[in-house]
Amino acid sequence: MSVTVTRNWKGTPIHWLRWPMIASDWVKVATPIAEEAVKTEAPVYHGHSIRTPGKLKQSIAAVPYVSQNSATINIGTTVPYARFVIDGAAPHIIEPRKANILGWQDVDGFRFSTKVHHPGQRANRFPERGLEIVEPLLMDLFSEIVRKSFVVTAEKG
């Protein structure tokens, strides 16, 4: 998931030499805001599981990148199950790969089975929700940084 501001060189008042400074200033301010917005929307599972509650939320990190044409904030996570939370999963059968039996613990104690019918998982588009909430703020911040760059230039000139 990412937020990108792309500079359209045709007819823009931003000179190409000022773009890296403007873009860098924006990502410094916008990166923590975007990261926190996605973390706020991330689900926290509190049921019986071997997973640590909040592990998905804690693993979310934002990395800024500025190029000649764009400023991007990439937001990602390191937990392997994140794609199933975000994209969902169709109902499926879970069978053991390296053993003959599956085992897990739930509220009733330990359970064992040769296969499990997983009911599936509805998609939870929390990154999109988080970024939609702060998108107007991020664009306003960018506009403000561009405006300030013109004020500084006018004062010097």
Examine the domain organization and report whether 62 and 77 are in the same domain. Answer: yes
- Give pLDDT tens digits along the chain (157 positions): 666 666 665 666 666 677 888 889 999 999 999 999 999 999 988 766 666 778 899 999 999 998 888 888 999 999 998 999 999 999 999 999 988 999 988 778 888 999 999 999 999 999 999 999 999 999 999 888 888 877 655 555 5
The rounded distance, in Å, linking the Cα atoms of 2 and 34 is 9
Task: Write out pLDDT tens, residues 15-49.
Answer: 667 788 888 999 999 999 999 999 999 998 876 66
Examine the domain organization and report whether 127 and 70 are in the same domain. Answer: yes
Examine the domain organization and report whether 76 and 138 are in the same domain. Answer: yes
Q: What is the total count of domains within the chain?
A: 2
Examine the domain organization and report whether 47 and 107 are in the same domain. Answer: no
Tokens of 64: 């800024």
Examine the domain organization and report whether 55 and 95 are in the same domain. Answer: no
Examine the domain organization and report whether 66 and 139 are in the same domain. Answer: yes
Range of the domain at 114: 89-120
